[in-house]
Structures are given as C-alpha cells and as structure tokens.
Amino acid sequence: MPASVSQEPESRSTKRLFVLHGRVKLTILVLILVLVIPSALNYFASGSATSTRDYAPEASILAPNVSALPISYNESKIQTVSRACDQNSDAEVEQAVDPSLGYVYESWMGCNGIGFARSTDGGLRFDPSVSIPQSGGPANSWDPAIAVSPKGIVFVSFMRSWGGYYFPIVEASFDHGLSFPQVSFLIPPSHKNWGYRDFIAVAANGRSSIFVPKAEAVLSNRAI
C-alpha cells in the first residue's frame, strides 16, 4: 500500500503536464489558423508573390508623396543587320556614333581578330563586317575600343600580344570607316606590361588619347 500511495501524486502531476502541453499546442494552432493562414492566402491571391507584369515599386520606398508608374516594354525579334565575317564567336561589342552624319560604328572581338562594321542609316543596317588591319594572324588580339573625332575621324584601338609584349594598337580611318591606313603600335618598354585593356577618347580639338588602367598612364596623345 505505501508504494501505491506514493505513486498517485506523481501520476496526477504527469496528467496535468500533458493537459497543459495540449492547451499550449491548441493555442498555437488557433493563432496560426486565425492570423497566418488568411494573410498568406491574401498574399498569393493578390499576385504579390508571382507578379511579373507590374514593375512599379511601392511609393513609400521611393519617397513620401511620390507616385510610382508601372514600367512597360516590348521585345522585338532578333534580326541580322550585318553579314558575319566568319563562324567564330563574337564578344565585347563597342560602339561610337558620328552625330553630324548619323553614322554608327561598332567594333568587337571576332572576325579572326577585331571585327568592324559601320551603318550609314543610324543603325538600321550595317555594311558587311571586316577585320581591322593588324588584328589577325597568329598573335592574340582582345578588348577593342572605338571613338569618333569632331572631324569624323574614326579611331579603333585594341590590345595585342606579340613577341612577349602586351600593348595597344591604335588605327585611324579618314574616310568614315572604309579603310584604316594609319596604324600606331604603342609598345611598352618592358615585356607584358600594358596587358589589361584599353580605352580611347577624342577631345573637341581632335586630340586622341588612349588609357590602359594597368599601366595607369596615357600612352598616346596626338592631334590629328
């Protein structure tokens, strides 16, 4: 009998603990049903989770008293505007525009070297692609840049590796991209020095400059 008397309080305490746990679980379940599920259903029903048509951000994100307008756009089909000069892959297209004539010039890595094409109708159509002189052959060429001077001179530059040197080449066209008779090799004093990439710009006075970030220096600065 003493053993049975001592076990009774423990049994009642265990039952109370189970009842308490059950009430806590029931309370949590009720909160989920009342608060979380309706909000989630509202969220998905409104399309907020998967909407791809309305790109207008919330006005409160921008600034107070600012209304956001939805952004719309149209996607056109891809069209071939210039005949390819080879079947190799092309990359890194650079573009320059002559506003006085409406000509558009583009240069890129391709055409077995550095490719070039021009448009005389504002970019609607382009002449057949050609390879820039001195960019092909066994040596490697990369990272073209292009600019147009106020006089309409087209400058194309690119990086080249040759004989252990990494250096930019700058070519100039005086007939609006039909030919590039002037070629300048900007060879550094040490091997593999200017090997990153080049940027070219033309000032209002017709002076062209080429900049190679790795060298951190202007390599060419001449008036044409």
The structure's pTM equals 0.60
> Is residue 113 over pLDDT 60?
yes
What mean pLDDT is predicted for residues 107-121?
92
Cα–Cα distance, 60 to 57 (Å, whole number): 8
Encode pLDDT of 30-84 as tens digits. Answer: 666 666 666 666 655 554 444 444 445 554 455 556 566 677 777 777 777 676 6
Torsion of CA 85, 88, 94, 96, to 10 degrees: 0
pLDDT tens, 137-178? 767 889 999 999 999 999 999 998 888 788 889 999 999 999
Selection from 162, 169, 167, 170 nearest residue 137 by Cα: 162
Closest CA to 133 of 193, 200, 188, 185: 185
**Rounded Cα gap, residues 194 and 183, in angstroms:** 18
Instruction: List beta partners, residue 159.
Output: 142, 168
Cβ neighbour number for residue 48 with a 10 Å cutoff: 10
